[in-house]
A and B are shown apart, each in its own frame.
Chain A
């Protein structure tokens, strides 16, 4: 794969956005991989070592998304694949996840009780159940991504990791370095930015490249809905383990998840940057918390970001988590010749469309992707497993870190009230949870509350070099 070396990335500026070579290469690969997948069931080869060609999977992080990812993994139809180990810090997550997967895939779940681990180092035990070439799913909150990925590299495993993959500058620098190591070891690594694997968006991308909307002048992205996930976090119940409380409510704490901003907005940011074929070089932003009541999390409930690309093109992003307001969960690209709808309502179905002119009206519809789009959550797994069985280069870490980083750039711009450049966020020295790899059940949490159970919040204009 002809990716630019990750080590060049700290010097981004103009280069910040030019991952186009790797992107197009990726697209070509994913196309061939898909085509190849159907031929491969009887002809697996390459790095996968298991004698019978069964790919073994371990699930680290058994919440809703991790369980969904495991189900997608077990649904790949190009050869034997089974789930052999699971890990979480919550029994209340692991057990129902196991029960549901057993029910859905009775012949493919072989995570016996001795291979189900409830502990902060459970990820090591789960990965110890695998052989080089098997796959580990890293689906904990992103704070733990880099230590878990470090161990996966040590073990020579292929990896599927959920987005975001980093939450701040220091962890991004670590992950870029780890990504480089994983490429050098020929590890196949998928990142859960599944929209990149969506057939509708891929065709739209080709059409935009083919000039169907002219040059992109401006893009808009929205995720505006009511309170989502654990972002609106209530005060900790008396007597709780504070570390576990923060992990359970990971959307509420920047160290754990990058907050509501990173977890909820990364897909819309990423799909726009994909269509633009570049990463933005700076961000300025507004945001605030209008409704807080007794919530103690670190999030704002409105975010409005202006991202600027190296050529001056803008991406305007709006995020809101207030109930009762106008809802919109969509991305658009405005070009000199027309308008592209990148996504319509959430992630799938994307219902990608192109309109002549700048208005969404049936009369001006120039193209639309046909109904019954394939599910991108499944496609991302079909592509990863096919690459493993066919031993093709397949590594999405760099792109995943870049997407996480430009997301954090917009978040930091809102939380500090300052213009934040790609360099600023990449080289930021505020590591939210430097000791995350050492956490254990009895550890103090990375963020401490005051005597009334409240946590530090961003103070735009007052605290400007860090987010809190």
Chain B
């Protein structure tokens, strides 16, 4: 890895590299970190496991999601249908693991603030081969957030927010390099499949928004802030906060006019994003109404989400005004080859490049 060991404070940002040219996991890479129950060759062997983030106390609980076929989108006869969340299509999903909770600050901060690197430095430790690989995805992020990104809403155990989709994607690539297991954002289809958890109703618990209070933090009960993850009831597959708390990044471009109609069964569909805005978030949030938290409800990112960024050009990592946006991660049972990854899962345009002259300046 020729770019693995830059120290962020000592190099001008102009030397940092675009994410797209960093190689992903390769055959000659060091073996994955050993954590219990994380290995499976077949769907039947998939178990829940706890992914560990080395040199930190953070971990991420992963749940197996069996593959299957479902109707994606809101039925035409549903009065809540919006222009963007139909027409329904038949979608086949391959098996994957999904994080039980939204990614918390505990895990996200290890990447965002380079806590593992900081710890190595304080304790005079040598970077393991995996950590050397991971460095390419963290130290190339030279600008630290200018403000307190928790906005006073809490940190430990609370969901991370205000990241761009690019930052969430980069977190996944860092985590993949660090662990040796392939993580990424879910596709929109995977997300809805997991949210529905076999249900066909508006929410994973039925159609009655009156019950939403048992399952979600949303406008009516959040008291104007996100809440600790996992405090509400899970959905039938054990996933928490799929409705509400923070909206969650998925990989897809957002399409205001809804889905491309199809009579055929679509297999693992993905609308590769070719513009920075709008991209899709799912699940609604603490700041949104009940109907926006439905299993099929969609929302698209907007430049308004970065309106208060004082930097010019604006950050590629932080969305100053997206206090309602976080993410969770998936790990496909069968990871793509680097070529497949580059062609589909990791592909997005325009390529995000750190601005020249980025510096952690004081104002």
B152 touches A64 (CB 8 A): no
Contact check: which of A344, A375, A377 meets B152 at CB < 8 Å?
Answer: A344
A64 touches B361 (CB 8 A): yes
B-side contacts of A232, CB under 8 Å: 9
Q: Mark B215-250, 1 if CB is under 8 A from A, else 0.
A: 000000001100000000000000000000000000
Contact check: which of A104, A225, A345, A375 meets B151 at CB < 8 Å?
Answer: A345
B362 on interface, CB distance cutoff 8 Å: yes
Instruction: Across the interface, name the chain B residue whose C-beta is closest to A361.
Output: B223
Instruction: Across the interface, name the chain B residue whose C-beta is closest to A63.
Output: B361
Contact check: which of B114, B310, B312 meets A323 at CB < 8 Å?
Answer: B114
CB distance from B343 to the nearest CB of A (A): 35
A229 touches B360 (CB 8 A): yes
A211 on interface, CB distance cutoff 8 Å: no
B5 on interface, CB distance cutoff 8 Å: no
A65 touches B113 (CB 8 A): no
Chain A contact-residue range equals: 35 or more
B-side contacts of A362, CB under 8 Å: 223-224
A32 on interface, CB distance cutoff 8 Å: no
B42 on interface, CB distance cutoff 8 Å: no
B344 on interface, CB distance cutoff 8 Å: no
A100 touches B360 (CB 8 A): no
A346 touches B223 (CB 8 A): no
Instruction: Across the interface, name the chain A residue whose C-beta is closest to B223.
Output: A362
B113 touches A328 (CB 8 A): no
Pick out which of these stretches binds chain A: B30-38, B72-80, B142-150, B270-278: B142-150
CB distance from A285 to the nearest CB of B (A): 21
Instruction: Across the interface, name the chain B residue whose C-beta is closest to A365.
Output: B224
A264 touches B148 (CB 8 A): no
A370 on interface, CB distance cutoff 8 Å: no
Pick out which of these stretches binds chain A: B90-98, B115-123, B129-137: B115-123
A100 touches B357 (CB 8 A): yes
Which residue, B113, B148, B223, has most C-beta atoms of chain A within 10 A? Answer: B148
A234 on interface, CB distance cutoff 8 Å: yes
Contact check: which of A225, A234, A323 meets B118 at CB < 8 Å?
Answer: A323
Question: Are A226 and B148 CB-contacts (below 8 A) given A323-B118, A361-B223, A377-B310?
Answer: no
Instruction: Across the interface, name the chain A residue whose C-beta is closest to B109.
Output: A324
Contact check: which of A96, A226, A230, A326 meets B144 at CB < 8 Å?
Answer: A226
A-side contacts of B10, CB under 8 Å: 234, 237
A347 on interface, CB distance cutoff 8 Å: yes
CB distance from B302 to the nearest CB of A (A): 16
A-side contacts of B362, CB under 8 Å: 64-65, 228-229, 251, 263-264
- B299-333 contacts to A (CB < 8 Å): 308, 310, 312
Instruction: Across the interface, name the chain A residue whose C-beta is closest to B12.
Output: A92
A-side contacts of B7, CB under 8 Å: 234
Query: Can you list 17 pairs linking A and B with CB atoms under 8 Å apart?
Result: A64-B363, A65-B361, A65-B363, A68-B310, A100-B312, A224-B148, A225-B144, A234-B7, A234-B9, A234-B10, A263-B362, A328-B152, A329-B147, A330-B152, A349-B308, A362-B223, A377-B363
In the A-B complex, list the 3 residue pairs whose CB atoms are closest, starting with the nearest: A64-B361, A346-B147, A323-B113
